[in-house]
């Protein structure tokens, strides 16, 4: 992945992809204290390539850094410009963006009082996170044996690098068991989220999702709230049990990378009809129309890169 052409924004400058390097004593590499975002850019019919909800992603990046106590060396406007620039200067019509803030190699140890925050933004083509057919067919999910973070162990409101050890363990276990994604429960046993997605269920024409206690405040989740409201649905945020997912009429995951993906099976049990349900179908279509600039009412969510 490192050996390719292109440009990466690092600490205020564009550097050739192959030269965007750090030292092995980079602090974040050792202890996992860093924050990042996953953002997507899509081609639109009339405004060229646009970044979807750029402001909200940058705001969350800053909130994550604030939670971890990492001083940000750049302001939001600079990072928004950097994100537009990496898409534009790499000539991407559509792509995935990865801004990250990390501690450098200025020092070692847990005191972390002699470190600088560095910032990078890369972008690349990443068409479909799941199997391309997954968005239509739905995916098989397995409840994880790994518990999602407790709110007082790692900070769940921060999209922090180290938090993703838990996600990777859960996803690996799910994949090894023949499923495509993991469903993680919180430390009390209630449904929290996927390894990199928020989760929703539909039952008796009502839409539910776990409250934000131990899941990430997803931007796709927030987008789905707005789209559901247009359809006349208020999304109810409350505790959900795994067996409520088993008996749901529909269930789906949301995330920037995964977009809106139906869940057709959980723990070997068919969810609803075992296919993409009608409400999932509508919300997914509205989501794709929003990100691709085909819904005039959601234009403010799009930032052109040019």
CB of 169 to ligand PMP, least distance (A): 13
Contact with ligand PMP (CB under 6 A) among 196, 210, 262, 272: 196
Q: Indicate the residue among 210 and 272 with the shorter CB distance to ligand PMP.
A: 210
Give 148-155's long-range contacts (Cβ < 8 A, gap of 24+): 148/184, 148/185, 148/186, 148/187, 148/192, 148/193, 148/214, 148/215, 149/214, 150/186, 150/187, 150/214, 151/213, 151/214, 155/67, 155/68
62: its two tokens: 């800053």
CB of 56 to ligand PMP, least distance (A): 8
Contact with ligand PMP (CB under 6 A) among 84, 142, 221, 264: 221
Residue 95 as a binder of ligand PMP (CB under 6 A): the answer is: no
Contact with ligand PMP (CB under 6 A) among 254, 290, 298, 303: 254
State phi, psi for 111 to the nearest 5 degrees.
Answer: -65, -35
290: its two tokens: 């929003």
State phi, psi for 124 to the nearest 5 degrees.
Answer: -155, 170
Residue 262 as a binder of ligand PMP (CB under 6 A): the answer is: no
Residue 38 as a binder of ligand PMP (CB under 6 A): the answer is: yes
Q: Are 88 and 69 in contact (CB under 8 A)?
A: no
CA distance 159 to 33: 10
Contact with ligand PMP (CB under 6 A) among 100, 160, 216, 283: 216
Tell me which H or E stretch contains 42.
Answer: strand 39-43
Q: Are 33 and 97 in contact (CB under 8 A)?
A: no
**Which one of 63-71, 78-86, 213-221, 286-294 is the stretch in contact with ligand PMP (CB under 6 A)?**
213-221
**Residue 159 annotated among the catalytic residues of the structure:** yes
**Which one of 24-32, 81-89, 169-177, 191-199 is the stretch in contact with ligand PMP (CB under 6 A)?**
191-199
DSSP of 119-165, one letter per residue?
EEEEEE----SS-TTHHHH-EEEEE-SSPPPPTTTS-TTS-BGGGHH
Contact with ligand PMP (CB under 6 A) among 161, 198, 209, 290: 198
CB of 129 to ligand PMP, least distance (A): 10
CB of 216 to ligand PMP, least distance (A): 4
Residue 186 as a binder of ligand PMP (CB under 6 A): the answer is: no
- Residues contributing to the site for ligand PMP (CB under 6 A): 38, 159, 167, 193, 196-198, 215-216, 218-221, 254-256
């Amino acid at each position: 992945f490192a050996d390719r052409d292109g440009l990466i924004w690092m600490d205020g400058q564009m550097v050739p992809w192959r030269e965007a390097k750090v030292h092995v004593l980079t602090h974040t590499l050792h202890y996992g204290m860093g924050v990042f975002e996953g953002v997507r850019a899509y081609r639109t019919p009339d405004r060229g390539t646009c970044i979807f909800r750029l402001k909200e992603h940058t705001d969350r990046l800053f909130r994550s850094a604030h939670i971890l106590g990492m001083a940000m060396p750049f302001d939001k406007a600079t990072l928004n410009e950097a994100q537009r620039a990496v898409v534009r200067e790499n000539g991407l019509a559509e792509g995935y963006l990865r801004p990250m803030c990390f501690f450098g190699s200025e020092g070692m140890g847990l005191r972390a009082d002699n470190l600088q925050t560095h910032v990078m933004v890369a972008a690349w083509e990443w068409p479909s996170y799941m199997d391309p057919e997954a968005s239509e067919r739905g995916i098989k999910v397995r409840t994880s044996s790994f518990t999602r973070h407790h709110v007082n162990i790692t900070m769940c409101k921060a999209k922090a690098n180290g938090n993703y050890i838990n996600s990777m363990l859960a996803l690996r276990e799910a994949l090894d068991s023949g499923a495509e994604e993991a469903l993680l429960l919180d430390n009390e046993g209630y449904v929290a989220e996927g390894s990199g997605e928020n989760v929703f269920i539909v039952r008796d024409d009502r839409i539910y999702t776990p409250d934000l206690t131990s899941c990430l405040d997803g931007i796709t989740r927030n987008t789905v709230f707005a789209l559901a409201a247009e359809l006349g649905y208020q999304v109810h945020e409350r505790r959900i049990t795994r067996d409520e997912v088993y008996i749901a009429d529909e269930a789906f995951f949301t995330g920037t990378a995964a977009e809106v993906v139906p869940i057709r099976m959980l723990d070997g049990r068919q969810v609803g009809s075992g296919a993409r349900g009608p409400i999932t179908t509508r919300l997914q279509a509205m989501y794709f129309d929003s990100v691709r600039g085909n819904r005039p009412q959601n234009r403010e969510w799009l930032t052109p890169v040019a």
